């Protein structure tokens, strides 16, 4: 996993005021709840006393109360009460629950997964989708495979005619010209031109000239992807590691050709239904890929059109090692 990053861990709608929820993300058990002032608290789901799961407890005066011996922890993780010692005694500082920096934005809960900092970088968000009259529908599901395989599947530009032969891969356009890949900081943009196998071999990126504007794929490290279908229609997915063998996909289907609230939401929902079918065509294949996790050095034999995947692996490794995204040669 890539440390020192913001990750989406829940949708906003999954977390209610005063009700702790327990879940696993990034290989760690966590508990989250919403305070009366809407602030989100995310802590390790592990009582420092004797290891009970805090999410089984309840919220008491904005604090979480452990289900086992009733120790209470505030939103900073400080232990405020040890009932067995009495209300008047001050709990020792060693009873500190681990707390993650958390923020809520655009319908998602983010946590900072890494070392504490004086200042944190901005949240990974495509800001143009936040305020431009898009209507959207949300869908989430987990896949039983390492996050690297799930992300690489969405950067793969020439599989469409095969798993998606009945949907977006119709038409037998098996030849992939390109892809053209552009990197800008933590962002990767990918264009590809799929065609029938009628006019000679595949063209390389250098033979294609500047890419046309849409459609293209847009990926922001470590885990946000966008299919930029048109100016008015987009799909985004956050790929959050649950653990080494499972990934949560938080997908969202945006459109703004129909802006009316109810009808617009209905159309976004219809797009989501179609897209879920496509997603499941991928899931069937990706969950069976071996090894379950990809790496920079592995025995796979790649072809030129796999370039986005090679780039993903290289940058991921740099980020894991704390190096700049692109190493200077």
Question: Nearest approach, Cβ of 239 to Fe ion (angstroms)?
Answer: 13
47 binds, among Fe ion, ligand FES, none (CB under 5 to 8 A by kind): ligand FES
232 binds, among Fe ion, ligand FES, none (CB under 5 to 8 A by kind): none
**Binding segment for ligand FES among 45-53, 122-130, 181-189, 227-235 (CB under 6 A)?**
45-53
Tell which positions 279-298 bind Fe ion, by CB under 5 A. 282
Q: Across the strands, what pairs with 184?
A: 187
Which residue, 65 or 267, has its beta carbon nearer to ligand FES? 65
- Residues 159, 172, 255, 230: is their CA dihedral positive or negative? positive
**Does the protein bind ligand FES through residue 16 (CB under 6 A)?**
no
**Binding segment for ligand FES among 63-71, 251-259, 264-272, 284-292 (CB under 6 A)?**
63-71
Q: Does the bond joining 215 to the residue before it have cis omega, within 30 degrees of 0? A: yes
Which residue, 49 or 164, has its beta carbon nearer to ligand FES? 49
What is the side-by-side strand order in the sheet with 216-220? 135-143, 246-255, 233-243, 224-230, 216-220, 187-195, 175-184
Which residue, 68 or 193, has its beta carbon nearer to ligand FES? 68
Q: Across the strands, what pairs with 32?
A: 21, 42
| Residue linked to tokens 């219809």 | 270
> Which one of residues 50, 117, 259, 288 is an interface residue with ligand FES (CB under 6 A)?
50
Which residue, 50 or 196, has its beta carbon nearer to ligand FES? 50
Question: Nearest approach, Cβ of 79 to ligand FES (angstroms)?
Answer: 9
**Does the protein bind ligand FES through residue 68 (CB under 6 A)?**
yes
Which residue, 46 or 151, has its beta carbon nearer to ligand FES? 46
**Does the protein bind ligand FES through residue 46 (CB under 6 A)?**
no
| Residue linked to tokens 């080494």 | 244
Q: What is the rounded CA–CA span in Å between residue 211 and residue 218?
A: 13
Which residue, 31 or 125, has its beta carbon nearer to ligand FES? 31
- Two tokens, residue 275: 């897209």
Q: How many residues bind ligand FES (CB under 6 A)?
A: 8
- Any idea of the CA torsion for 87, 91, 96, 100, to the nearest 10 degrees? 40
Which residue, 65 or 176, has its beta carbon nearer to ligand FES? 65
> Which one of residues 69, 170, 196, 213 is an interface residue with ligand FES (CB under 6 A)?
69
Question: Nearest approach, Cβ of 303 to Fe ion (angstroms)?
Answer: 17
Q: What are the DSSP calls for 120-176, one per residue?
A: -PPP---GGGTSS--EEEEEEEEESS-HHHHHHHHH--S-TTTTTTTTTTTT---EE
Contact assessment for residue 176 and residue 163, using Cβ atoms and an 8 Å cutoff: no
**Does the protein bind ligand FES through residue 170 (CB under 6 A)?**
no
> Which one of residues 47, 160, 188, 249 is an interface residue with ligand FES (CB under 6 A)?
47
Q: What is the rounded CA–CA span in Å between residue 310 and residue 312?
A: 5
Which residue, 50 or 259, has its beta carbon nearer to ligand FES? 50
- Any idea of the CA torsion for 8, 14, 17, 19, to the nearest 10 degrees? -110
According to the 3-state scheme, what is the secondary structure of 294-319?
Answer: CCCCCCCCCCHHHHHHHHHHHHHHHH
282 binds, among Fe ion, ligand FES, none (CB under 5 to 8 A by kind): Fe ion
**Does the protein bind ligand FES through residue 49 (CB under 6 A)?**
yes
Categorise residue 221: left if φ over 0, alpha if ψ from -120 to 50, beta otherwise: beta
> Which one of residues 33, 71, 136, 238 is an interface residue with ligand FES (CB under 6 A)?
71
Which positions touch ligand FES (CB under 6 A)? Answer: 47, 49-50, 52, 66, 68-69, 71
């Amino acid at each position: 996993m890539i440390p020192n990053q913001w990750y989406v861990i829940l949708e906003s709608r999954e977390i209610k005021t005063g009700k702790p929820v327990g879940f696993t993300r990034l290989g760690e058990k966590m508990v989250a709840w919403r305070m009366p002032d809407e602030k989100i608290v995310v802590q390790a789901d592990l009582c420092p006393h004797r290891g009970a799961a805090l999410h089984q407890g309840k919220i008491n005066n904005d604090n979480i109360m452990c289900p086992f011996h009733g120790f209470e922890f505030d939103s900073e993780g400080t232990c405020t009460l040890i009932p067995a010692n009495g209300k008047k005694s001050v709990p020792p500082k060693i009873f500190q629950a681990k707390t993650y920096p958390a923020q809520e934005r655009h319908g998602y809960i983010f946590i900072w997964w890494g070392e504490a900092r004086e200042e944190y970088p901005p949240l990974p968000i495509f800001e143009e989708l936040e305020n431009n009259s898009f209507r959207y529908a949300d869908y989430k599901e987990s896949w039983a495979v390492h996050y690297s395989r799930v992300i690489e599947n969405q950067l793969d530009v020439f599989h469409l005619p095969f798993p998606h032969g009945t949907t977006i891969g119709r038409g037998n356009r098996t030849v992939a010209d390109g892809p053209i890949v552009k990197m800008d900081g933590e962002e990767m943009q990918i264009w590809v031109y799929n065609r029938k196998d009628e006019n000679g071999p595949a063209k390389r990126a250098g033979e294609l000239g500047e890419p046309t504007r849409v459609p293209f794929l847009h990926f922001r490290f470590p885990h946000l992807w966008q299919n930029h279908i048109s100016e008015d229609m987009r799909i985004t997915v956050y790929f959050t590691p649950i653990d080494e063998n499972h990934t949560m996909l938080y997908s969202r289907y945006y459109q703004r050709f129909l802006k009316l609230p109810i009808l617009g939401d209905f159309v976004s929902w219809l797009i989501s239904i179609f897209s879920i079918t496509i997603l499941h065509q991928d899931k069937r294949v990706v969950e069976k890929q071996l090894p379950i996790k990809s790496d920079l050095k592995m025995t796979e034999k790649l072809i030129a059109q796999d370039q986005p995947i090679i780039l993903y692996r290289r940058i991921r490794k740099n980020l894991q090692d704390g190096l700049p995204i692109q190493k200077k040669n």
